[in-house]
Amino acid sequence: MGAGVVIVGGGQAGLQLATSLRQGGYGEAIRIIGAEPYAPYQRPPLSKAVLSGEAGVDTVPLRAPAFFADNRLDLVTGRRVEAIDPGARTVTAGADTIAYDHLIVATGADVRKLPVPGAELEGVLYLRGLDDALKLKEALARPRQVVVIGGGFIGLEVAASATKLGSKAVVVEALPRVLARSTAPAMASAIVRRHGEKGVEIKTGAGVSRIEGEGAVSAVVLSDGTKLPADLVVVGIGVVPAAGIAQAAGIATDNGIVVDELLRTSAPGVFAIGDVARFPTRFAPKPVLVESVQNAIDQGKAVAATILGKPKPYDAVPWFWSDQFDMKLQTTGLAFDVEEAVVRGDPDSLAFSVFLLRGGRVIAVDTLNKPADHMIGRRLVTAGTRLSAAEIADPSFDLKQAAADPARG
């Protein structure tokens, strides 16, 4: 018997890897070591269903407790791995030194902290893990004056959830528009309009200079001197890959753990997957980090295949979704060097799509309440399908047929 597989990180990526290994007939030991006190759980509900009370500690786990015993998965929670020794092929967790044949670093990412005076005041919260969500849920149990700092997916989802719970929400975004790194301008405009109709105020091009309060937060002061009353502040300004343990072990990092097309790090026998892994992809001109459930699941499956002796370069098309009020936003592809954005449908209807092109090929698709367009969009992006702006904008044009046409690839 060998030392088996050790997975550092108890999230979606690590659990998928372990599950795929057992499904593929892997017979050696598999140990999952997670820093949080919970078994692997779903993260998407944290900013939505958990805040509303529709989901909680009992409903977000990805698997029932019996699953781990039934599949001989040694799950260790509330434990942090402090060090990796690639030469000895061991990790250190507390007083224990644990050997491995294959090590997978799936440590995810940590919230980016707001570097302004007053950020440490009571009532300034972040949202990354289940404990964060439960704390925020408690804070939103009564109506609040909420300032959300950051106009990305998490910030807008929190603003929507807070509004539905009876609070007044103001979103502050430093960039000229919300969702600037993730969606097309036309899509962002429609989402902003719907938030406004629901009572959310959104301020763009607005930096934060400080947070005020005597012990607890009372206001957020913007760079132009505007003072926003607040008794609750939620910061959602992005994340930082949790790559410190790999960097300390001499494993190559670059704002994330650097991996190759098989998700292997610079250390023999060590892989990295999920939010922490910076990987090469044909969908981008340079290695990227992708923070999504899809990426975590697909990378877990890919590394399992490699360990099982069936390696295949990771080539999954990225996709993501976000639920806000009555809007389901879905994106696929990576919008690098976009040359043309073409709207299909009526943005005022809250059911439309935006196709992003480079060199006449579809490289990304954003959809709002158009799940069929999203599914076809995945196929178009994967194939690099050539489409004209006129074809995309024509509602009678058959996208499905175009996606199946090899001559357009």
Judge whether 246 lies within some domain: yes
215 with 258, same domain: the answer is: no
Chosen domain end from 235, 262, 283: 235
220 with 124, same domain: the answer is: yes
102 with 134, same domain: the answer is: no
Cβ pair 367, 353 in contact under 8 A: yes
272 with 298, same domain: the answer is: yes
Judge whether 314 lies within some domain: no
DSSP string spanning 169-237?
EEEE-SSSSTTTTTS-HHHHHHHHHHHHHTT-EEE-S--EEEEE-SSB--EEEETTS-EEE-SEEEE--
Query: For the domain that residue 355 is a member of, what is the CATH number?
Result: 3.30.390.30
177 with 74, same domain: the answer is: no
Query: For the domain that residue 187 is a member of, what is the CATH number?
Result: 3.50.50.60
What does each of the 409 residues of the chain score in pLDDT, given as a tens digit?
799 999 999 999 999 999 999 999 999 999 999 999 999 999 999 999 999 999 999 999 999 999 999 999 999 999 999 999 999 999 999 999 999 999 999 999 999 999 999 999 999 999 999 999 999 999 999 999 999 999 999 999 999 999 999 999 999 999 999 999 999 999 999 999 999 999 999 999 999 999 999 999 999 999 999 999 999 999 999 999 999 999 999 999 999 999 999 999 999 999 999 999 999 999 999 999 999 999 999 999 999 999 999 999 999 999 999 999 999 999 999 999 999 999 999 999 999 999 999 999 999 999 999 999 999 999 999 999 999 999 999 999 999 999 999 999 8
Q: In which residue are the tokens 């030991």 written?
A: 29
26 with 164, same domain: the answer is: no
- Quote the pLDDT of residue 1: 73
Chosen domain end from 206, 235, 264: 235
Q: Mark residue 296 as left, alpha or beta (left: phi above 0; alpha: psi -120 to 50; beta: remaining).
A: alpha
Q: What is the pTM of this model?
A: 0.96
Domain of residue 381 covers 335-408
Total number of domains in the chain: 3
Judge whether 323 lies within some domain: no
220 with 280, same domain: the answer is: no
75 with 125, same domain: the answer is: no
